[in-house]
Amino acid sequence: MNAAVDAVIALLLISAAVGVVVTGSGVQAPDPAPDRADAVADALAATTATVNYSLAPGVRELNRPTANAGRDSPDGNPELRRTAHGSLAGLLARATTASSGVSADAGPPEEPLTRTRAGLRRAVQDAVLARTGAGVRIDAVWRPYPGAPVGGRIGAGPEPSGDDVHAATLAIPTGVDPVPAEATVTFEALGHAVAARTVEILVPSDAARVTLRGDDPTAALVAHRYARLANATNTSLAAPLATEDTAAANARLTDALADRMTAELEAEYDRPGRAAEAVSVSSVRITVRTWGDRQGNR
């Protein structure tokens, strides 16, 4: 399987974890003292982890409605196994965008597009908790702007207890460029720019095209993701996807989201420049909260 296929699977179709190996980069996670939130955030950025996972649960999700459900289990299929490596902060960001959903109604999404994100979420949570211990809560959130109809989040650790809580934040790039200055002149231009970047995060067109041309289970998983996006945005993608024209499919998704995002930004902000200041489509925000003494006790 070539690098492009691995790229789209790593970004979008990550499923049940089969193991996690955490490897230190020379930076040990600090004791979770109440004034050590910055140090914990630094450790997330500097400590690396290798996460092993499988796409098998995504295949099971696709097969569930069929008469063949339960037959030919994909769990042992080596072609469905994947490995992700990077900093803990980077893996948190990756799992957050992979867990994103799109709300068909008003307000932020409540559910991811597909269930194939569960394995990565679990594996990354385990890797993070192995480094941070007690008295630490970590939340990773991606949302193109406050209240956007697209977004994802992952939490690790218990919610803080008491009032003596300290916090630190990280901004991890999603892989798309920030909105350029020329796209902040009008609400229409801003809405379209945000929508285009949002769609590219959800379904990177080049890698998705290569995957759709294959004949293995990953092609069906990408097609399923497009189907869920089409349903959430009330967009027809049958024609472009019939020829694996993912650029055209993404353009249709962008147009549908742009109309909605433009209207929401215009309703919330008095001018495009003010709205642009609230846009965060190009980064995942990771918040670290610490409390308790150095042993994590109250």
For 226-264, write each residue's pLDDT tens digit. 999 999 999 999 999 999 999 999 999 999 999 999 999
Asked whether residue 74 is domain-assigned, the answer is yes
Give the domain range for residue 11: 3-290
Asked whether residue 256 is domain-assigned, the answer is yes
CB 43 within 8 A of CB 30: yes
| Short-list 141, 144, 173, 205, CA closest to 8 | 205
Contacts of residue 161, defined as CB under 8 A and 6 or more positions apart, other chains included, come to 291, 292, 298
Distance CA 144, CA 151 (A): 7
Structure tokens given for 25:
């980069």
Asked whether residue 297 is domain-assigned, the answer is no
Asked whether residue 93 is domain-assigned, the answer is yes
Look at residue 161 in the predicted model and tell me its pLDDT: 81
Asked whether residue 249 is domain-assigned, the answer is yes
Mean predicted confidence (pLDDT) in 270-296: 89
Look at residue 257 in the predicted model and tell me its pLDDT: 97
Position 270 pLDDT exceeds 80: yes
Look at residue 112 in the predicted model and tell me its pLDDT: 82
The H or E element containing residue 232 is helix 217-233
Give the range with max mean pLDDT: 51-60, 277-286, 288-297: 277-286
Asked whether residue 215 is domain-assigned, the answer is yes
Asked whether residue 92 is domain-assigned, the answer is yes
pLDDT above 70 coverage of the chain, percent: 81
Q: Could you give the C-alpha distances from 266 to 220, 258, 276, in angstroms and in order?
A: 37, 12, 11
Number of domains in the chain: 1
Q: 122 versus 26: which is more confidently predicted?
A: 122
Look at residue 71 in the predicted model and tell me its pLDDT: 53
Structure tokens given for 64:
């569930």
Asked whether residue 296 is domain-assigned, the answer is no
Mean predicted confidence (pLDDT) in 147-159: 94
